[in-house]
Amino acid sequence: MKYAIMLGSNMFIGTNGVFTVEINGKLKEFFKVREIFRERSEGSYLAVDCDIKDFENKREVKLFKSKPVVADENIQIESDKKNLIAKRSDGSLIIKIEQIESDNPTLPKSGPIPELLKTNQVDAILRITGNFYAGDFKVNIDNENMNIGGVTLGGNLSVGTGGMRITQMGFSM
């Protein structure tokens, strides 16, 4: 399956839905899209795996098919067919994953993104926001920007295949 994934205002078209992060020189899977909601498929829902740790490298939440398998008892998980939200006890966002439609009003209406979404068919468009650690990298993503390890990215567009990676050399697809 192919996905378009939005991280802030950055769009990655054609990814396989897997994020890896470099830990001690080795790439480790941190996030994976397992399933997506399909209108004509009864019982379908957005299902992801992810393993999120805090700044002390203590696990905050580990999800398998969007269900917590390990979590701090104060973590709140909310999900429906197209959304997953994990929050800390103080209400701050850990991660939010939304499956959005191509006609979503927050997507650009003109320019290269709508054109590339037409010519590079994807199975789903996902928007990810949050404030968490991926390995040793502090990640903060809002609707406009993505900050990884102190480097802010906004308005980038990548088209390709395969997964996304966070390494000491930067972010790549």
Taking only the tens place, the pLDDT of each residue in 58-117 is: 888 999 999 999 877 889 999 999 999 999 999 999 999 999 998 898 888 888 998 999
pTM of the model: 0.91
Taking only the tens place, the pLDDT of each residue in 111-134 is: 899 899 999 999 999 999 999 998
Helix or strand (DSSP H, E) at 133: strand 124-134
- CB contact at 8 A, 49 and 63: yes
Q: In this prediction, what percent of the chain has a pLDDT beyond 90? A: 58
Range of the domain at 69: 3-172
Instruction: Please give the tally of structural domains in the chain.
Output: 1
- pLDDT reported for residue 57: 76
d(CA 31, CA 118): 26
